[in-house]
Chains A and B, each alone.
Chain A
Amino acid sequence: MTIHVPNVNHRFDPLTINRLGLWLFLVSDASFFIALLSSRVFVSGTSTPDEINQVLGLSLTVLLLLSSLTAYRAEVAAENNDMSHMKNMLLATMGMGILFVFGVGYEWYEALQHFPPSTGFGTVLFTLTGVHVTHVATGILTLGFVYFRVRKIETIGDNLFAVEGAVKWWHFVDVAWVFIYPTLYLLK
């Protein structure tokens, strides 16, 4: 059986091509988030009900920003071939991610009482957080796959892009939240 390894490229190494691909994907997904955010004003104007749990929203934001920091540490560690630190940081990031998902779950539990999906604000809240939390979940999943792949190896070698890509994705998801949070919680 012949194995076709496309002799991709003449001038660019695979890492660069992968990076480009990821960036293009981020641009595309950013476009989705713009659509998402713009629908907020249409559906429930700029009003934010008082019942919304401001403390929870702020904690979630802080949590996600912290996880971005650990993700960044993981990437740096990967570049320096510091495997054990990298693994720890990956685990920490995933841990905070999972916490975030539970936080959103709690937020939904509360929201169901005050503004279920059949109300204007509920529609916005569940859509924005729902789409975002799906992204977070894919981020956790990706980090999980990466962790699974690097857990037993000594040097990073070919897996650098895997770590880098997962981390970039995580940062992207965090930045998306940075836009969603004020749109959802702070508009008056």
Chain B
Amino acid sequence: MPLVRGVIYAAIGFAIGGSISLGITNMTGEDYKEPMIVLGYVFAIIGWLMGVGMWKIWGREWFGKSTVNDPTGGWERYLKFNTDHKVIGIQYLATLAVVFLLAGLLAMGLRAELADSGQNVFTKNTYNTTMSLHGIMMIAVAVAAVMGGFSNYVLPLIIGAEDVAFPRINALSFWVVPPVVVLLLLTPLFGGFDFGWTAYPPLATQAPIGGLLFELAFLTFGISSILGGLNFIATIITQRAPGMTWGRMPIFAWSVLAASIISLTATQWVAYGMLMIIFERVFNMVFFSPPGGNALLYEHIFWFYSHPAVYIMILPAFGAELEIISHFARKPIFAYRWVVRAFAAIVALSFVVWAHHLFTSGMGEELAVPFMVLTELISIPTGIIFLSALGTVWRSKLRLKVPLLFALAVVFNFAIGGLTGIFLADVATDIALQDTYFVVAHFHYTIMGGEMFAIFAAGYYWFPKITGRMYNETLGRIHFALMFILYNITFLVMFIPGTVGMNRRVAEYPPEFEAMNLIVSIAAFGLGLSFLPWIYNMLNSWIRGPKAPDNPWGAKTLEWQTSSPPPLENFKVMPTVTGDPYGYGDESVVHARFGKSSPSSQAAPAEGD
């Protein structure tokens, strides 16, 4: 019943916060609505968190009272504030799968509208709201599904820990996500928000109440990813199994560490961006309008987060991809150390390239060249990831299971996504391509083709570990084939309207571009249907699938050395790491021993160059 209690407490919280605000606005004579929503929401969130169990597990402690924490139990444990990282991982994955399907259905709506040049399915305003909702919901999935979902489940296992460093903060970072989803889904009832996922003011400051809900949602979501990043960094530093030196750490853990550094620091900026808009709305401040204010301020602050954010999405995806490729190629990750260096370089560069989204914004002209140069430098470390993937499969023994198929598709798709990024990074070509469908195709190639495919790879790969059951391989292959082909048709063709002069974020467009859009729409509907075998496979296998062995893939990383699904404390006997996890074809490398171990083996040097 924690959920019900959460909702009730949230309602009470809203009533309290709302009345305080009403009291104040009554005195000052300001418009009451927006302040009431903001303050009410703050209190509602607190009520919600306390209701779902934070009070029992955590809050009492602040007042010097005893706390009770019981993360065990049947299915109810998924419906309350629970500190077990495996439960939290599943909570994230389930929530985000729903969000993904909803956002995907919205995309189907977009494609229906865009199938011909006129206006048919939506009015212009609802089109904009639909488009913006699709964008922000998908971004939320992209940011949180690998980090919140898979890293939460897998990271402690893969480094041989019992849990994350701060289990309660971990639970907190999940439980602020449902309010985000609820807020976003409520926006259409409050006039929607018609400013895209980027929310540029002054448009965003003038939008209806729905816009305010969007800003509160994005802000809350930011808090979640900050706390998540903090937790993963602390976990990786402090919770690795004895003997797991940095050189023996699985690449997935490295990628999560890299992404966490970004989400710990950069996310604060988008929080500030949202706060500025909220302040401008609620307190009539003038950040963005002349005289005094400057609309470019927001663009800089927003992209200072949102560019690094794309690497929060893609880095763990790369990590999962390389992890899977190595285990299915039965060959060590090629140039492991260079990959780690590449992650470090990408993190560093990601903070200094944001203005490549502003080449046409009217920012200072002298900024264009430095930002172009820095942006294009990112292709060098990103290229290393490709080298590693291709070097690993070369002369390997590939087992073409579904996870590997998806992982190889990531390499293919992201090559297109990344290379088209270079066209956008070049100032001259970007001036023509900015805000056209070329950009839309670019980021669907990087996010969906790169990250989402990696998420599906990870989903199939870790499915047996998470559920204790096997998925159906044939259905998986069907899903892969359909999704890969239809995805590529959809988004490859989408580059064309971009180059011939169709801008994004429009519900109607010149009839000359109709044919290509129709192809895209048809392929997109097929793409949508290709998820049906996936949905069926996942649900059916989870309930009825054959029992999975502990280590169906014969992989060497630690998460496969415990039962499927793992017990509450992850390992019955804690592991001691004695070598790197990619010792395929090399009997002398043993990743871990369980039980008593000889400390001398810990001193062995790490492998790879």
Chain A residues packing against B (C-beta within 8 Å)? 1-4, 6-12, 16-17, 20-21, 24-25, 27-29, 31-32, 35-36, 38-39, 42-44, 117-123, 126-127, 131, 145, 148-149
Contacts and interface: CB of A to CB of B under 8 A. Distances in A.
B279 interface: yes
A123 B70 contact: no
Contact of A119 (B62, B162, B286, B294): B286
A123 B292 contact: yes
10 contacts: A7-B162, A17-B165, A25-B230, A28-B267, A32-B269, A35-B268, A35-B301, A39-B301, A117-B284, A120-B292
A72 B468 CA distance: 53
Given A4-B83, A126-B283, A149-B64, A21 B230 contact: yes
Contacts of A39: 272, 276, 287, 297, 301
B285 A32 contact: no
Interface string B230-242: 1001100111111
Contacts of B167: 6
B8 interface: no
A10 B163 contact: no
Nearest to A153: B64
Nearest to A40: B297
B27 to A, nearest CB: 14
B272 A32 contact: yes
A46 to B, nearest CB: 13
A12 B240 CA distance: 10
Contacts of A24: 230, 233-234, 264
Given A43-B297, A44-B292, A123-B286, A28 B162 contact: no
Nearest to A7: B162
B286 A118 contact: yes
Interface string B287-324: 10001111011001100100000000000000000000
Contacts of B69: 3-4
Interface string B137-173: 0000000000000000000000000110111010000
Q: Which 3 A-B pairs have the closest CB atoms?
A: A120-B292, A32-B268, A42-B297
Given A7-B569, A28-B267, 17 more contacts: A4-B70, A4-B83, A6-B162, A11-B238, A20-B238, A21-B165, A28-B230, A39-B272, A43-B294, A44-B292, A117-B286, A123-B279, A123-B287, A123-B292, A126-B285, A127-B276, A145-B62
B70 A2 contact: yes
A24 B286 CA distance: 32
A9 B236 CA distance: 11
Interface in B251-279: 264-269, 271-272, 275-276, 279
A104 to B, nearest CB: 16
A131 B283 CA distance: 14
A12 B238 contact: yes
A27 B70 contact: no
A16 B238 contact: yes
A32 B271 contact: yes
A7 B294 CA distance: 52
B178 to A, nearest CB: 23
B415 interface: no
Contact of A42 (B169, B294, B568): B294
B63 A10 contact: no
Interface residues of B, number: 55
B226 interface: yes
A35 B265 contact: no
Interface in B441-470: none
B147 to A, nearest CB: 15
A11 B269 CA distance: 34
Contacts of A16: 238
B234 A17 contact: yes
B398 interface: no
B285 A20 contact: no
Nearest to A142: B62
A27 B287 contact: no
Given A4-B70, A7-B569, A123-B293, A148 B63 contact: yes
Nearest to A146: B62
Contacts of A123: 279, 285-287, 292-293
A17 B234 CA distance: 7
Interface in B49-64: 62-64
A10 B242 contact: yes
A27 to B, nearest CB: 7
B226 A28 contact: yes
B124 to A, nearest CB: 31
B239 A4 contact: no
A115 to B, nearest CB: 10
A177 to B, nearest CB: 18
A35 B287 contact: no
B68 interface: yes
Contact of B266 (A4, A31, A119): A31
B265 A120 contact: no
A127 B279 contact: yes
Contact of A20 (B62, B234, B272, B279): B234
Contacts of A42: 287, 294, 296-297, 300
B176 to A, nearest CB: 16
A27 B267 CA distance: 12
